Amino acid sequence: MAPILGYWKLRGLVEPIRLLLAHVGQEYEMKSYSFGPEPDFDRSEWLDEKFNLNLDFPNLPYYIDEDEGVKITQTVAILRYLARKHGLIGESDEEIIKLDMTEQFTMELILSCAKVWYTKDEETFEQLKGELSANLSVKLSQLAKLIGENQYLIGDRVTYVDFMLYSFLDYIRLFDSSIFEDENVSTINEYLSRIEALPEIEKYLSSEDFSRFPFSGPMARFGSSEPSE
Ligand SMILES: N[C@@H](CCC(=O)N[C@@H](CS)C(=O)NCC(=O)O)C(=O)O
């Protein structure tokens, strides 16, 4: 039986996992849960199952592989498991340290965005979004320096952290593309294009399984649908 990957019907935290699975060509079944309509955005489609899946820490995303006797939640734990299985991890201490640091940096980056994208009212969102863009510019310059001349994060070999970075940087690019126009971050644009050009990733990105939006839940101020000009 193919492993099951569960998440809301949006890119959110599940996208790096889907990219990794696409890259290695691993079959899986996507189990997507939908929110109810506004204003309540009822979550019962998920909540009705949440505590019946025998997960230690019930959450979304989850990854269940009955054949391997594996049930995992926590995005990074799922990614690390799949990366170990498919050889997409660091080998030397230097590589592992770089990946560990960037993994945490990337999670912090997306959480700082989510805090703003999920603000309750439009006024607060408008106040915070400029500040967020300024912070993201600083973070992206740091990242551009780290990537430097490398093809991927640790050199010429792709790892799970590249898929985390690709997904979350893509959401940020959709939020404020002007950040990516800065000369300081030009290596990031090339880096993103390089990941998009990986054969299996290119196939996935042009398939029916992929859509740039939504990457946030329907209650979010940004990312739940394509912004109208
Ligand atoms: N630390 C967890 C956070 C997971 C999380 O916050 N999941 C959200 C969607 S992004 C959710 O709706 N979880 C379902 C729940 O809380 O029941 C991870 O990295 O996977």
DSSP string, the chain: ---EEEEESSSTTTHHHHHHHHHHT---EEEEE----TTTT--HHHHHHHTTS--SS--SSEEEETTTTEEEESHHHHHHHHHHHHT-S--SHHHHHHHHHHHHHHHHHHHHHHHHHT-SSHHHHHHHHHHHHHHHHHHHHHHHHHHTT-SBTTBSS--HHHHHHHHHHHHHHHH-GGGGGSGGGHHHHHHHHHHHTSHHHHHHHTSTT--S---S-TTSSSSSSPPP-
| Contact 50 CB / ligand 1 (< 6 Å) | yes
| Contact 154 CB / ligand 1 (< 6 Å) | no
The model carries a pTM of 0.98
Q: What average pLDDT values come out for the chain (229 residues) when binned by 10 residues?
A: 97 98 98 97 98 98 98 98 98 98 98 97 96 97 96 97 98 98 93 98 98 98 90
| Contact 114 CB / ligand 1 (< 6 Å) | no
Question: Which of 32, 59, 86 is at the close of a domain?
Answer: 86
Q: How far is the CA of 164 from the centre of ligand 1 (A)?
A: 16
Q: How far is the CA of 59 from the centre of ligand 1 (A)?
A: 5
| Contact 167 CB / ligand 1 (< 6 Å) | no
- Asked if residue 180 and residue 124 are part of one domain, the reply reads yes
- Asked if residue 99 and residue 187 are part of one domain, the reply reads yes
Closest approach atom of ligand 1 to CA 13: 10
Its domain, for residue 107, covers: 93-198
Is 81 part of a structural domain of the chain?
yes
Counting ligand 1 atoms within 8 A of each CB, the residue from 7, 9, 11, 13 with the most, and so the one to mutate, is 13
- Domain of 40, CATH number, reads 1.20.1050.130
| Contact 75 CB / ligand 1 (< 6 Å) | yes
Q: Are 130 and 120 in contact (CB under 8 A)?
A: no
96-145: pLDDT as tens digits: 999 999 999 999 999 999 999 999 999 999 999 999 999 999 999 999 99
- Asked if residue 178 and residue 112 are part of one domain, the reply reads yes
- Asked if residue 100 and residue 15 are part of one domain, the reply reads no
Is 50 part of a structural domain of the chain?
yes
- Asked if residue 186 and residue 98 are part of one domain, the reply reads yes
Residue nearest to atom 2 of ligand 1 (CA): 74
Identity (one letter) of the amino acid at 203? K
Is 146 part of a structural domain of the chain?
yes
Q: How far is the CA of 60 from the centre of ligand 1 (A)?
A: 5
Is 153 part of a structural domain of the chain?
yes
Residue nearest to atom 7 of ligand 1 (CA): 60
CA distances from 197 to 59, 104, 204, 205, 206 (A): 32, 25, 11, 10, 11
CA distances from 219 to 119, 122, 223 (A): 9, 11, 10
Number of domains the chain contains: 2
Helix axes 75-86, 15-24, angle to 10 degrees: 10
> Cis ω on the peptide bond leading into residue 39 (within 30° of 0)?
yes
- Domain of 146, CATH number, reads 1.20.1050.10
